């Protein structure tokens, strides 16, 4: 559905995005992560033909956006952070206006979508009377009107209260399960991405520093093993000497050497007569992984390809 | 689908209160001018000029004449202001509000979007000029009788018409005023396509018009007046003389058409290469 090839954008002297390669397959919920200014919105802008690439290609639904934007975006819906509308018009009128930029839309279809997003009964009220949550639902309705196959959500939970964030999360899952949409979700809410996405890419200062599945993250070599022993320092010295662990932190966590499993540690510690109370292979959380990636931003990038 | 998109643009345009400022201000200005002429001796000079040329002054101090008198300051000052206010808003306001990003996430080409918006501006200009003419005659008719039309610009125009002829000339003058309104709107629209605030687009357009007007009226440039943009904007005045200088009006129309095409092409080129960001 989405294929970005060496996509780059330079604003003046500053690279907003550098050589981004990205593939999002049909049916995925793909997360685009990164801090503010990392290049997420620039990448989305180029996918939608709003920002011209300095180099590279954005291919959406099989069409190059720069060459054939109308065809590329024919089955695409998008929502941006802080949804804006023509406040002085009704929600219904807004939907009519926006949908006509894609194709004429039957009133029955509009009613169906309004029902789906839960705005039935309020569609004739002026948008200026809508709450933030209702605006978000209206934004979702306008994105769904053209019967999209791909939905691009740029910070959709921005500004929502906890209930709103929860509702948005549920809605995104419904979009995938009930409508079978492919979704690209740009966010800096790690918890949201962790709960929704099957695969993610992380951008840092315009450069992709990770691309892979959440499972890969959980299993990644960055995962720590919590070790509760009588004398951590002595245990660590012995395990290091045996080349069973490569790193340690907090007086309680170690990183296993490549190919080493926890049973090898248990065996060694027991053989050495060191009291072992607990050993837990901690799954890497997305938050921990993300923060580690950000710390490593000065180091050469070694992407994990999913 | 094109017509649906145009209808959408008109909904947006006429849904905003500020779109109606021009209509309201025209009516206010026309009412004030009519009252001033009715309840002061402002028409004395006109009566003297008519009688000095052996015309029955009362016949020509009519609603048509007063409507024409009020037309001049409005056409020179207020009309450019209000059409450039709307023209300057058409793209820049949507970019500022963020709705442009919503539109451009849809499969419409930038050129087509601009054309639809420009056409909405053209229709707004048509309506504004039509209302200007209608309310001019209507507000003058409340205080002055129906009669002949007298147009006098010292050193330039001295025309007297019967009521039917007067109404004809008054009407086609508004037709040409539409050309002026569209061109000034198109100028503001062009600036609106650049990455500027709506107010900046309006101010730039008005500055361009007024600067041309000032330069054109400097005696040094008298001989080359026809090279100035504003010279051709005044083609509507040619409809108020008899016989109508059709050749001059026609050439001005061609020049304005060229200006309009140029403005649109510059605007659409600037818009095409722009990055639309939040």
Q: What is the pLDDT of residues A80-92, one digit of tens each?
A: 888 899 999 999 9
- Asked whether the beta carbons of residue B275 and residue A51 sit closer than 8 angstroms, the reply is yes
Query: What does DSSP say about strands A207-213 and A55-60: parallel, antiparallel, or unpaired?
Result: unpaired
Helix (H, G, I), strand (E, B) or coil at A159: coil
Taking CB atoms and an 8 Å limit, are B11 and A93 in contact across chains?
A: yes
In chain B, which residues have pLDDT < 70?
A: none
Cβ atoms of A91 and A122 closer than 8 Å? yes
Neighbours of A233 (CB within 10 A): 10
- Chain B residues close to A135, C-beta within 8 Å: none
Look up tokens 């006098």; give the residue: B152
Chain B residues inside the 8 Å CB shell of A46: none
A-proximal residues of B, 249-278, CB under 8 Å: 273, 275-278
Question: Considering only CB atoms, which chain B residues are within 8 Å of A186?
Answer: none
Strand B157-161 relative to strand A276-281: parallel, antiparallel, unpaired? unpaired
Per-residue three-class SS string for B189-235: HHHHCCCCCHHHHHHHHHHHHHHHHHHHCCHHHHHHHHHCHHHHHHH
Low-confidence ranges of chain A (pLDDT < 70): 219-223, 284, 296-306
Instruction: For residue A79, give the 3-state DSSP assignment.
Output: strand
> Cα separation of B12 and B16, whole Å?
7
Residue carrying structure tokens 């840092």: A204
Q: Tens digit of pLDDT for each residue in B214-232?
A: 998 888 888 888 888 889 9
Q: Which domains does chain A have, with CATH numbers?
A: 2-213 (3.40.50.300), 224-282 (3.30.70)
Where b means 16+ CB within 10 Å and e means fewer, B231-257 reads: bbbbbbbbbbbeeeeeeebeebeebbe
> Per the CB < 8 Å rule, is A73 touching B103?
no
pLDDT at A220: 64
SS3 A226: strand
Query: Distances in Å between the alpha carbon of A168 and those of A87, A116, A117, A188, B70?
Result: 22, 13, 10, 15, 58
Say if B218 is an interface residue toward chain A (CB within 8 Å): no
Determine, for residues B107 and A73 on separate chains, whether the beta-carbon distance falls below 8 Å.
yes
Taking only the tens place, the pLDDT of each residue in B12-50 is: 999 999 899 989 999 999 999 999 988 888 888 888 888
Please tell me what DSSP assigns to residue B162. -
* Residues contacting residue B9 through CB under 8 Å, at least 6 positions apart: B116, B117, B119, B120
3-state secondary structure of A155: coil
Report d(CA A102, CA A63) in Å as an integer: 16
What's the pLDDT at A190? 84
Nearest by CB to residue B11, choosing from A48, A89, A102, is A89
Handedness of CA A90, A92, A93, A97 (dihedral sign): positive
- Which pLDDT does position A304 carry in this prediction? 44
In the DSSP assignment, the letter for residue B53 is: T
User: Helix, strand, or coil here: B16?
Assistant: coil
């Amino acid at each position: 559905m989405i294929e970005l090839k060496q996509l780059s954008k330079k604003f003046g002297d500053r690279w907003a995005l550098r050589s981004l390669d990205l593939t999002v397959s049909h049916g995925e919920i793909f997360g685009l992560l990164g801090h503010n200014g990392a290049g997420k919105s620039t990448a989305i802008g180029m996918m939608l033909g709003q920002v011209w690439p300095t180099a590279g290609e954005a291919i959406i639904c099989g069409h190059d956006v720069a060459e054939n934007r109308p065809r590329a975006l024919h089955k695409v819906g998008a929502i941006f952070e802080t949804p804006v509308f023509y406040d002085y018009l009704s929600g219904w009128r807004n939907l009519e206006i926006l949908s006509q930029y894609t194709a004429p839309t039957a009133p029955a279809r509009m009613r169906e979508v309004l029902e789906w997003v839960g705005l039935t009964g309020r569609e004739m009220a002026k948008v200026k009377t809508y709450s933030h949550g209702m605006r978000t639902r209206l934004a979702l309705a306008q994105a769904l009107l053209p019967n999209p196959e791909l939905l691009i959500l740029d910070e959709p939970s921005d500004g929502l209260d906890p209930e709103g964030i929860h509702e948005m999360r549920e809605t995104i899952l419904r979009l995938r399960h009930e409508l079978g949409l492919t979704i690209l979700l740009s966010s800096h809410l790690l918890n949201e991405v962790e709960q929704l996405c099957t695969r993610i890419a992380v951008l840092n200062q315009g450069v992709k520093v990770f691309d892979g599945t959440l499972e890969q993250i959980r299993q990644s070599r960055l995962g720590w093993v919590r070790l509760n022993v009588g004398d951590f320092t002595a245990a660590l010295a012995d395990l290091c000497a045996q080349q069973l662990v490569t790193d340690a932190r907090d007086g309680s966590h170690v990183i296993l050497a490549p190919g080493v499993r926890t049973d090898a540690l248990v065996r060694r510690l027991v053989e050495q007569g060191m009291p072992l109370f607990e050993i837990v292979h901690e799954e890497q959380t997305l938050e921990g992984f993300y923060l580690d990636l950000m710390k490593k931003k000065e180091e050469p990038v070694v992407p994990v390809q999913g | 689908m094109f017509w649906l998109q145009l209808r959408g643009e008109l909904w947006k345009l006429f849904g905003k209160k500020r779109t109606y400022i021009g209509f309201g201000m025209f009516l206010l200005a026309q009412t004030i001018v009519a009252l001033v002429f009715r309840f002061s001796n402002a028409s004395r000079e006109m009566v003297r000029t008519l009688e000095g040329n052996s015309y029955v002054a009362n016949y020509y101090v009519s609603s048509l004449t007063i409507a024409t008198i009020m037309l001049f300051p409005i056409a020179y000052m207020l009309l450019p202001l209000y059409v450039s206010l709307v023209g300057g808003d058409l793209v820049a306001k949507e970019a500022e509000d963020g709705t442009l990003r919503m539109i451009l996430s849809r499969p419409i080409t930038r050129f087509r979007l601009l054309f639809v918006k420009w056409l909405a501006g053209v229709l707004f200009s048509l309506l504004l000029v039509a209302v200007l003419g209608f309310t001019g005659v209507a507000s003058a008719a409340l205080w002055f009788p129906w009669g002949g039309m007298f147009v006098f610009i010292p050193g330039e125009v001295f025309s007297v018409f019967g009521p039917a002829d007067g109404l004809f000339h008054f009407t086609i003058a508004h037709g040409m005023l539409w050309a002026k309104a569209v061109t000034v709107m198109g100028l503001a629209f062009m600036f609106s396509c650049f990455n500027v605030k709506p107010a900046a687009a309006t101010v730039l357009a008005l500055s361009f018009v007024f600067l041309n007007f000032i330069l054109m009226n400097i005696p040094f440039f008298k001989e080359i007046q026809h090279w100035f943009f504003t010279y051709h904007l005044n083609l509507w005045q040619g409809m108020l003389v008899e016989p109508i200088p059709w050749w001059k009006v026609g050439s001005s129309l061609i020049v304005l058409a060229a200006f309009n095409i140029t403005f649109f092409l510059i605007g659409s080129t600037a818009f095409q290469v722009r990055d639309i960001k939040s």
